[in-house]
Structure 1
Amino acid sequence: MARRRWGELEKVTLSSAVLEVIESFGFERTTPVQSATIPLLLERKDVSVEAVTGSGKTLAFLVPMLEMLQRRQTDTPWTSKEVGALIISPTRELAFQISEVLDKFLEKKELSYLRQKLIVGGSRIEEDITAIKKESPCILVCTPGRLEDLFQRKGDLNLAGRVKSLELLVLDEADRLLDLGFKATINNILGYLPRQRRTGLFSATQTTEITDLIRAGLRNPVRVSVKEKSSISTPVKLQNFYKIIEPEEKFLGLIHFLQSPLTSHGKVMVFFPTCACVEYWVMIMSHFLHNRCVLGIHGKMKNKRKNTVEKFRQEANAVLLCTDVLARGLDVPEIDWVVQWDPPASASSFVHRVGRTARQGNEGNALVFLLPTEDAYITFLKINQKVELNELENADHDKEELGRVLEKLHRLQLKDKDIFDKGTRAFVSHIQAYSKHECNAILRLKDLDLGKVATSYGLLQMPRMPELKNRESTNFIGPKCEVDISKLTYKNPQKESQRLEKLKIYEVSGEWPGKKKFKKRTEAWEQTKKAKMDTKTKKELRKAKKQRKIENDVNKPKKRKPQYTQEDLDELANDIRLFKRLKRNKISEEDFDKEMGIED
């Protein structure tokens, strides 16, 4: 589809206020998804839009939304208790981003009456209720959990009553909404909304869950699918690379890459598999990348995430370590490289991660680190997502340099037990995440040399975990001198004080407070085995005894029921009649005793 200039859309005339803001963004032409979607929404049709990340979906629903709200204002002005549009996004970061773009439009004097309110978690719900009642927003940008809470809240807000005149509902990154488990929440929200509304569903991929949601929430929708000319699922100007690296050299390879001329300047995102990995490597990398701003974001962070994203935008040479919480929606056009420490949990996540670069027609690059045992992932990605990976020239790392890096990692952990704790948790969580990989047919845990992987984390010792049971870790490289882990101290005075208190209790009781208790084995292995055999024998004896009892009950002759003659039955019936006559006072007690043959 050819790109059109803004304002040249078929059957559409946009207001001057909207066009002025779009021009201020520097967008001279509409993207294909905007050219296809905006006219359909303005013709009051429901749309289901599938388009690659970075294709301009945000303006594709904000522009028609503002036009629809302005048209309604002309006919019937919006009251202070009416909500005209709802925009639901899966993450706070994406909601903040949409709200920021929308603010640019609402700053115009002609559109200032269309107030908006950002509704996300992380704050007290009472604050949101007070703000909605006070500010009377016409547009709500929200995350699904908080919106559902507001609908279910009993009180004087009555959000369900405010949305009776709803013009447009937008579900942004709908596939991500369902991936995060919001299906029931979305269905509950749909139950509060009027049927006479327009709905726009925007996603990067079409799934079975998306199809179900279309059936439930859209009426005769028009499907819009915008594909790149190359028929791949990643942006056209994105170059994808891979690098084969030995497990123990992974951190060294990452540091080399971030210090290379390719990435020594500009913004870089590095994706890790777990929150614990992000926490550990943020602490470590600041000691290796002295001239770079190193930031970290993961799903367990709440209020800090917005400030971190903003700092990443402002810093010219920043490295952002993150989990898949930022794999969708983050729009920072200046990102030059996206690096992946590991292949992501699913093939679709790969596409969303690399889509953080090469946005809005800019060039971008992405790199994924692969172990020698993971080379089949290259073919898998080509077949599954039609993504071609090119090998990045691999610089050889000498043993001495690896030794120096490991020595520095060991020193950092010896100086602060907090770094040691975070490193251990990061390694354990990494291995556990790897064992649950969607592509576990080709990325198998049993193929990993866990000793070498632990070496890359710079651990002081191998942790105790089920995955290490019955597996050798002879290739683990620890510190040169013997380390007593119990004597490691925290730099944080509060944590160190708590550790010393627990140490005193341990010295008295012999048990570390808060530690899970395990039953100590005080007898020989032969005795334990004999006890197990005795228990097994007793169970078998009880089972045999029970079986014999069942067989005896089956073979035992059944007791015969007593046989009654007709004479016996007649006599019993006569006695019953006499008793009834006595109760009704139709016969005296003397006559009753006489008839029954009872003597004094």
Structure 2
Amino acid sequence: MADDDGMLVNFDLGSGPARASNKGGSGRWTDRLKQKKQAQHRERREAGEGVRGYSVKAAVREHNVAPPERVEEEVFVSRAPGAGMGTKRKRDDGEEGEDHPPAKATGASKQVISSLFTYNPESHIPAKPSTAPAVGPASNAPMHDSAFGPLKIDSRLCTHLENKMSITAPTSIQSNAIPYLLDQKDKHDVFIQAQTGSGKTLAFLLPIVHRLMQSRKDRSSRSSGVFALILGPTRELCQQIYSVLEVLLRCSGAYWLVPGLVIGGEKKKSEKARLRKGVNILVATPGRMLDHLENTKSLDVSSARWLVLDEGDRMMDSGFEETLNKILNIVNERSGASKGAWLEQGLPKRRVTVLCSATIKAGVEKLGQDALKDTVYVKADDHVDGKFASGANAAEFSAPAQLDQQYSIVPAKLRLVTLGAALKNMFVTKRAARTGDSAANKAIVFFSCADSVDYHFKLFTRSLDGKVETEDSDAESDNDEDEDEGEDDGEKKEKKVMKKKTSPADAAIAKAPVLNGTNPPILHRLHGSLPQHIRQQTLAAFTKNTAGAVLFCTDVASRGLDLPDITNVVQYDPPFAVDEYVHRIGRTARAGRKGEASLFLLPNEEGYLDVIKRGIGAEPRSVANEELLRKVFPGKRYDWELAATEWQLAVEKWVLASPTTLDLARNAYKSHVRAYATHVAAEKSVFNVRNLHLGHIAKAFGLREAPGGMQRKKARKEGKDEGENRVESYKSDRMLKKAMEAMNSEFNVPKSVR
């Protein structure tokens, strides 16, 4: 070849396919940046570099959950009070996620997956070693060296208490209060102050029943009128008082006494029918009592000799002051006329008023001044005639000495997984299995709002396949046949209608396999928004349950209810006022039994411990949240942290799987934040909503959305609806205008004229 210059070129093209060449200076800058990242990723993959350690993205991929958009791991840094917005940290671990296409989540916007154990605010209280609970001898137990006989209680009542109610000895408050209520002179009204669970209900019921049994009853019957009015702040408390009264009146000498209950939640026609037949001892809520006094002519209170105001502090807190004043005025006007001379035998010549309260606040003191005359002030340890405690002592209260009080400082992101660990520890740990008492554990968990109760109930009753394990209560299934035998056709028809009205959303009893897969405890929920028949069935089922059981509730169950054999109380959300704290923990350690009460606090809520110490004179002992987690998620540090993270991610996956569940979580989060802002003014410095990290709070509800995103989405939806309505209104006005123009047109000639 003539043109061959003799140059030999040696190129090694390799065995792989040729790659497209991209010039660095061509295209848009976003395309060049994308090409650069792809090249870097390809080089790392060819070099054999794997993922560095455990990442949240890897865990998400294992759970087959990813958002519709690109998932960025953002960790929000907690901010101190008064500081600016927390900074964000983005971590790129080099994963593109091309091999695993994301599964589109229903109804979710851009998601944030943050680590549970990073950027959590630290506690300012130095860590204390875990110590054994310092509990003393029971302060509310019956006095075994005493009996009801020396108190001059009817012997038939004493025998009935021992044989039918298993009560052989009075408590301290009963020993101090009963003699004043049995005094034939009846010169004094009585104020009873005692810690919760000390037996205040029998302290006023026993003297009333005793004196009615001792009166001349040859002319007495259920139509003789109402002898005693007993008012309680909640339906549940009134139902409980009525249940105790029913058992007490089964005594042989009290066969003619008829109890009654009017608390609402049913038709007034049915209540009027019972009152028309006659009632001797009436238990009622203030609102329903005033309604019947004003509108039910058959309600005769002219023979009333006792008026009992139970849980007076709660009634004043609930805004019943005006209602109670109206009731007092009506009863005073109608109680002057006596129905017969036989009432003089054994019954008070004047109406005796009894006020019961665990605390003495300004509202209770005012109620006592309005309702009581010549007051005898009775406590469990002593009594003071004619005066109330005042000043600093008025707000103080006491807790049972045998109660083990605990608190845990739990960062917001760890609240949900720590609650799961605490509950699981009660029913499935080796300690519970070794002691053999796990099946008998009964716990109450207090939440701040009804939406939070509903969400956590559904969360902990989900099964492995995501369904809810429903459980028929005894009130609904076991006794249906026995109840139907004693009912007429009308009652059966009404009962069937009520069952049809009970939708699956009203189900308040279900198994909780999340807490124990082999022997799941029964979970119950209770709050004021549930229908009355559901609330009654839930309380009855929880009370009868002798196996493992948990009750998720609001403060509707914190006052007065004597739920038997409660071993644990968990305050997941702190109470709205300090006096509510003692009522919550008083659901356990009752009648001399031991109990355990724990409180969850955020790192910025540590000042609440000083409030508790001033109120009860003792500070709960500290239990680290890591200690609770390690008991359920054993192993080395990174092992139990990984297990806790997987538990949390499984919850987040469950939340994203259903639009209904997602809306439930959102509503619970929003209601929780709103409820947090309602703490009393004296505790605003501790519970300040401005100090909350809303992103971390959302994490505690299994949400991956930024709180601001939820608000913007709601605003966009409302704006869209408003715009659609505006367009529809404009179209309607335009069509109406055209119709009017057509009718008034000169060319619109009627057919008759044509």
Deviation at 1:345, TM superposition (A): 0.7
CA distance in 2, matches of 1:258, 1:298: 20
Matched, 1:198 2:352: yes
Q: Residue 465 and residue 436 in structure 1: after superposition, are their counterparts in 2 closer, same or farther (change >3 A)?
A: farther
The structure whose Rg is larger is 1
Do 1:333 and 1:362's aligned partners in 2 also have CA atoms closer than 8 Å?
Answer: no
CA distance in 1, matches of 2:458, 2:177: 45
- Residue of structure 2 equivalent to 1:503: none
Matched, 1:5 2:236: no
Q: Residue 331 and residue 145 in structure 1: after superposition, are their counterparts in 2 closer, same or farther (change >3 A)?
A: same
Q: Residue 357 and residue 384 in structure 1: after superposition, are their counterparts in 2 closer, same or farther (change >3 A)?
A: same
Matched, 1:309 2:539: yes
Q: Residue 386 and residue 514 in structure 1: after superposition, are their counterparts in 2 closer, same or farther (change >3 A)?
A: farther
- Residue of structure 1 equivalent to 2:677: 435
Matched, 1:390 2:632: no
**Which among 379, 383, 408 is matched to residue 243 of structure 1?**
408
Do 1:270 and 1:339's aligned partners in 2 also have CA atoms closer than 8 Å?
Answer: yes
CA distance in 1, matches of 2:273, 2:724: 44
Q: Residue 515 and residue 95 in structure 1: after superposition, are their counterparts in 2 closer, same or farther (change >3 A)?
A: farther
**Which among 600, 623, 635 is matched to residue 369 of structure 1?**
600
**Which among 429, 445, 455 is matched to residue 699 of structure 2?**
455
- Residue of structure 1 equivalent to 2:459: 284
- Residue of structure 1 equivalent to 2:576: 345
Query: CA-atom RMSD, angstroms?
Result: 2.8
Q: Which blocks of at least 5 consecutive residues in structure 2 are unaligned?
A: 1-138, 337-349, 383-395, 433-437, 463-513, 630-639, 728-754
Do 2:397 and 2:615's aligned partners in 1 also have CA atoms closer than 8 Å?
Answer: no
Q: Residue 276 and residue 430 in structure 1: after superposition, are their counterparts in 2 closer, same or farther (change >3 A)?
A: same
Matched, 1:410 2:632: no
Matched, 1:259 2:402: no
**Which among 314, 333, 338 is matched to residue 176 of structure 1?**
314
Give TM-score scaled by structure 1 length.
Answer: 0.74
**Runs of 4+ residues deviating >6 angstroms:** 513-518
CA distance in 2, matches of 1:516, 1:166: 59
CA distance in 1, matches of 2:590, 2:723: 49
Do 1:242 and 1:392's aligned partners in 2 also have CA atoms closer than 8 Å?
Answer: yes
Query: Aligned with 2:169: secondary structure?
Result: coil
Amino acid across the alignment from 1:390: R
User: After superposition, what is the alpha-carbon deviation per residue over 1:142-164, rounded to whole angstroms, capped at 9, x for unaligned?
Assistant: 1111111101105x42x2xx111
CA distance in 2, matches of 1:243, 1:389: 10
- Residue of structure 1 equivalent to 2:556: 325
Deviation at 1:191, TM superposition (A): 1.1
Q: Residue 513 and residue 18 in structure 1: after superposition, are their counterparts in 2 closer, same or farther (change >3 A)?
A: farther
**Which among 441, 445, 448 is matched to residue 273 of structure 1?**
448
Deviation at 1:74, TM superposition (A): 4.3
CA distance in 1, matches of 2:283, 2:723: 43
- Residue of structure 1 equivalent to 2:363: 209
Q: Which blocks of at least 5 consecutive residues in structure 1 are unaligned?
A: 470-484, 487-505, 519-600
Query: Aligned with 1:395: secondary structure?
Result: helix
- Residue of structure 1 equivalent to 2:160: 21
**Which among 418, 421, 426 is matched to residue 668 of structure 2?**
426
**Which among 324, 327, 335 is matched to residue 566 of structure 2?**
335
- Residue of structure 2 equivalent to 1:378: 609
Q: Residue 75 and residue 341 in structure 1: after superposition, are their counterparts in 2 closer, same or farther (change >3 A)?
A: same
Higher relative contact order (CA 8 A, sep 6+): 2
Deviation at 1:71, TM superposition (A): 3.0
Amino acid across the alignment from 2:154: S
Query: Aligned with 1:235: secondary structure?
Result: coil
Identity rate, percent: 33
Give TM-score scaled by structure 2 length.
Answer: 0.59
Deviation at 1:464, TM superposition (A): 4.7
Deviation at 1:22, TM superposition (A): 1.4
Deviation at 1:300, TM superposition (A): 1.1
Deviation at 1:72, TM superposition (A): 3.1
Query: Aligned with 1:366: secondary structure?
Result: strand
User: After superposition, what is the alpha-carbon deviation per residue over 1:421-444, rounded to whole angstroms, capped at 9, x for unaligned?
Assistant: 111111111111212222111222
Matched, 1:222 2:376: yes
Amino acid across the alignment from 1:239: D
CA distance in 1, matches of 2:422, 2:249: 43
Do 2:213 and 2:253's aligned partners in 1 also have CA atoms closer than 8 Å?
Answer: no
CA distance in 2, matches of 1:516, 1:355: 53
Higher helix proportion = 1
Q: Residue 517 and residue 78 in structure 1: after superposition, are their counterparts in 2 closer, same or farther (change >3 A)?
A: farther
Query: Aligned with 1:226: secondary structure?
Result: coil
- Residue of structure 1 equivalent to 2:225: 82
- Residue of structure 1 equivalent to 2:399: 234
Query: Aligned with 1:73: secondary structure?
Result: coil
**Which among 515, 518, 525 is matched to residue 296 of structure 1?**
525
User: After superposition, what is the alpha-carbon deviation per residue over 1:119-146, rounded to whole angstroms, capped at 9, x for unaligned?
Assistant: 1110111110011112x11111111111
Deviation at 1:83, TM superposition (A): 0.7
- The 5 A counterparts of 1:88-127 are 88-127=231-270
User: After superposition, what is the alpha-carbon deviation per residue over 1:539-562, rounded to whole angstroms, capped at 9, x for unaligned?
Assistant: xxxxxxxxxxxxxxxxxxxxxxxx
Query: Aligned with 1:212: secondary structure?
Result: helix
CA distance in 1, matches of 2:269, 2:402: 46
CA distance in 2, matches of 1:47, 1:453: 47
Query: Aligned with 2:264: secondary structure?
Result: coil
- Residue of structure 2 equivalent to 1:523: none
User: After superposition, what is the alpha-carbon deviation per residue over 1:512-546, rounded to whole angstroms, capped at 9, x for unaligned?
Assistant: 4899999xxxxxxxxxxxxxxxxxxxxxxxxxxxx
Deviation at 1:410, TM superposition (A): 2.5
Q: Residue 391 and residue 83 in structure 1: after superposition, are their counterparts in 2 closer, same or farther (change >3 A)?
A: same
User: After superposition, what is the alpha-carbon deviation per residue over 1:226-255, rounded to whole angstroms, capped at 9, x for unaligned?
Assistant: 259xx9610111010011112111110011
How many residue pairs get aligned? The number is 472
Deviation at 1:17, TM superposition (A): 2.2
- Residue of structure 2 equivalent to 1:52: 195
Q: Residue 238 and residue 180 in structure 1: after superposition, are their counterparts in 2 closer, same or farther (change >3 A)?
A: same
Q: Residue 465 and residue 30 in structure 1: after superposition, are their counterparts in 2 closer, same or farther (change >3 A)?
A: farther
Deviation at 1:92, TM superposition (A): 1.1
- Residue of structure 2 equivalent to 1:140: 282
CA distance in 1, matches of 2:149, 2:222: 32
Query: Aligned with 1:80: secondary structure?
Result: helix
Do 2:542 and 2:549's aligned partners in 1 also have CA atoms closer than 8 Å?
Answer: yes
CA distance in 1, matches of 2:408, 2:690: 21
CA distance in 2, matches of 1:151, 1:167: 16
Deviation at 1:448, TM superposition (A): 1.9
- The 5 A counterparts of 1:471-482 are none
Do 2:222 and 2:279's aligned partners in 1 also have CA atoms closer than 8 Å?
Answer: no
Tell which deviates more after alignment, 406-415 or 43-52: 406-415
User: After superposition, what is the alpha-carbon deviation per residue over 1:30-76, rounded to whole angstroms, capped at 9, x for unaligned?
Assistant: 11111111110111231011110001101101100101222333486
Amino acid across the alignment from 2:526: I
Q: Residue 79 and residue 255 in structure 1: after superposition, are their counterparts in 2 closer, same or farther (change >3 A)?
A: closer
Amino acid across the alignment from 1:282: F
